[in-house]
Amino acid sequence: MAYADPVLNDILQICQIVISVLAYIFNFALIAIVHRHARKEIGKYRILITFFALSDIYYNTVHFLVYPVPENYGNAFFMRGHGLFPDFLGVGLYMGAYGHEFPILIFHFVYRLYAVKNPENLRFFPIFIVVLVLATAASNALWFSIFHWFFHPDEESLRLLSSVFNGSIALPMLHASETASMHSQALYWVWQLAVRSHFEGNIKTGATFEGPRWRNLFGTVLMFASMIFTYVIIVYCCIRINNFLKERVVSEKSVRLHKQLFRSLIYQVFPVGTSGNSNGKRNWTRVISGITSFIPLFTAYYPAGSALLLPIFGKSLFEFETASCGVGVPFIPIAYAVPPACASHPLFNPMLLMFTISDYRRVIPTGENWTMTKGASHPLFGFWSISWGMLCELLYIPCIYALHNEIGLSCYRIMLWLAIVDVIAILCNSICFGFFLIEGTVFCSRPWSVWIVGCVGLGTEPQTM
């Protein structure tokens, strides 16, 4: 990686490695669970789940090798790989891996619709799989082509972004003129620099609008059209499946399984809440599913929306200042937030399936009997503990950033260390503790988890004395 801040560079690199390893573990674990412990009623759907997990493994591998970092400046978007494969081709390969998930989601919902409404049509499943593979390859090729051709650097974009790539403008990533052509680039609007003289003898610079760059705009429209098409098909299938499950009941067990599989798909595309069980209490695994259902929204759809759409409404590159470089308004958090978010996407997909489908949950050793017989759930206290902990963690971010800027003084280095220790302590003593309160955890429910969280949480206290 090549972040300008060496501390952030190391932190994000460690996060990338940890998240990638966990994504491999959970996806391979899901494949093993599906093929060893799945009920007969799931049937051939296990093949689709396996295909989904394998696509996540492929995406995880490509993201790790390329590690693309998008950046915005004014009305320009540019992205380059900062991993083991930083060439321009790598960005196209990554976007192909990013885009091939949309047809997989469509086929999952179409399969669920036929499974509950017209199960006799599942005899054509081999043809269904062939079409799925072809559609996935076509979507991969489409997104690769968009970034390879529509976002290919040209003389105009390189000239207008020269002040960015030669390092004249401070951005989160380090740039050099030699690597300018390795970036995918989208400059949506062209502004011509205008120099006006005033009667006082002063000179003022400004910009006049010339027109849009249709190639970049058309590429962006193609990507969002494919995403909108995916959502239209998913919404249609959701309505049909939901109506059918309300009107027809074949057997209680089959309907419950269909609802669990249906809910796991909903969680992967829509942020929805949780519901209580028959006893009026919230199930811990249902709470986990509800919380993680918000994550795909920010790991799959927020990156494309924020990184690509915000520059369309950005200011001119030559909004003000001198003729050599402009001072547009860059959305800095994109370079920091999007790469870890995209890396975590293949991690949470298998987690959603594992926690949503009861057959898969039972395979995971959680000590549920101890929780049910000896534990007492405190959901309100737990949610308050989690919310307060997350608020404190967010407030610590600007504090740590400010302390890091003064790291040259020994007193600020001590304060920075104390802030990092506090962040770790709050994670254990407030956020993890909140999850345990919601579940009603006792030590024998999760001995290793409780022991590790307790050791880390209590071990940080002497550091602050």
Looking at the DSSP assignment, which residues form a beta bridge with residue 187?
76
DSSP symbol at 282: P
pLDDT of residue 144: 92
pLDDT of residue 8: 80
Other CB atoms within a 10 A radius of the CB of residue 150 amount to 19
pTM score of the predicted model: 0.69
Decide: residue 37, CB within 10 A, 0-12 exposed, 13-18 middle, 19+ buried: exposed
Residue tagged 């801040």 (tokens): 5
Question: Residue 281: which pLDDT band, with cuts at 50, 70 and 90?
Answer: very low
DSSP symbol at 375: -
- Torsion sign, CA atoms 311, 313, 317, 320: negative
Question: Residue 247: which pLDDT band, with cuts at 50, 70 and 90?
Answer: low
Other CB atoms within a 10 A radius of the CB of residue 36 amount to 8
Encoding tokens for residue 219? 């590429």
| Cα distance between residue 12 and residue 281, in whole Å | 38
| Cα distance between residue 208 and residue 212, in whole Å | 12
Residue 271 near residue 297, CB atoms below 8 Å: yes
Q: How many residues does the chain have?
A: 465
Instruction: Report CA 170 to chain centroid distance, whole Å.
Output: 26
Encoding tokens for residue 269? 């595309």
Higher pLDDT, 216 or 190: 216
**Residue from 254, 244, 347, 258 nearest 300 by CA:** 347
Residue-wise pLDDT for 139-149, tens only, equals 999 999 988 88
| Cα distance between residue 241 and residue 113, in whole Å | 6
In this structure, of 61-70, 94-103, 176-185, 191-200, the range with the lowest mean pLDDT score is 191-200
Question: Residue 42: which pLDDT band, with cuts at 50, 70 and 90?
Answer: low
Is the pLDDT at 60 greater than 90? The verdict is yes
Residue-wise pLDDT for 379-396, tens only, equals 888 888 888 888 888 888
Residue 164 near residue 171, CB atoms below 8 Å: yes
For domain 6-364, say whether CATH 1.10.8.100 is its number. no
Encoding tokens for residue 172? 């989160």
Angle between helices 333-356 and 284-292 (to 10 degrees): 150
Using a pLDDT cut of 90, give the percent of the chain over it.
7
DSSP symbol at 3: B
| Cα distance between residue 239 and residue 228, in whole Å | 17
Question: Residue 287: which pLDDT band, with cuts at 50, 70 and 90?
Answer: very low
Question: Residue 435: which pLDDT band, with cuts at 50, 70 and 90?
Answer: confident
pLDDT of residue 261: 54
| Cα distance between residue 311 and residue 160, in whole Å | 15
Residue-wise pLDDT for 67-100, tens only, equals 998 888 878 888 988 888 888 888 889 999 988 8
pLDDT of residue 237: 79
Is the pLDDT at 257 greater than 80? The verdict is no
Write out the H or E segment, with its range, that includes residue 211: strand 203-212
Question: Residue 355: which pLDDT band, with cuts at 50, 70 and 90?
Answer: low
CA distances to 5, 169, 396, 399, 416 from 406, in Å: 13, 22, 16, 11, 9
Q: What is the Cβ-side half-sphere exposure of residue 438, based on CA atoms within 13 angstroms?
A: 22
pLDDT of residue 362: 54
pLDDT of residue 363: 52
CA distances to 10, 15, 121, 211, 348 from 295, in Å: 24, 17, 34, 38, 7
Is the pLDDT at 188 greater than 60? The verdict is yes
Residue-wise pLDDT for 397-433, tens only, equals 888 888 888 888 888 888 888 888 888 888 888 888 8
pLDDT of residue 141: 92
Residue-by-residue DSSP string for 96-136? HHHHTHHHHHHHHHHHHHHHHH-GGGGGGHHHHHHHHHHHH
| Cα distance between residue 144 and residue 164, in whole Å | 25
3-class DSSP assignment, residue 221: helix
31-45, 287-301, 343-357: which is most confident: 343-357
Rounded to an integer, the average pLDDT of 352-363 is: 60
Rounded to an integer, the average pLDDT of 139-162 is: 88
Question: Residue 175: which pLDDT band, with cuts at 50, 70 and 90?
Answer: confident
* Rg of the chain over all Cα atoms, to the nearest angstrom: 25
Using a pLDDT cut of 70, give the percent of the chain over it.
71
Beta strands in 61-105 (DSSP E): 68-73, 76-81
CA dihedral 415, 421, 426, 432 (to 10 degrees): 170
Is the pLDDT at 276 greater than 50? The verdict is no
Higher pLDDT, 326 or 243: 243
Is the pLDDT at 138 greater than 90? The verdict is yes
Looking at the DSSP assignment, which residues form a beta bridge with residue 202?
none
Encoding tokens for residue 94? 């990554």
6-10, 108-112, 222-226, 300-304: which is most confident: 222-226
Higher pLDDT, 300 or 391: 391
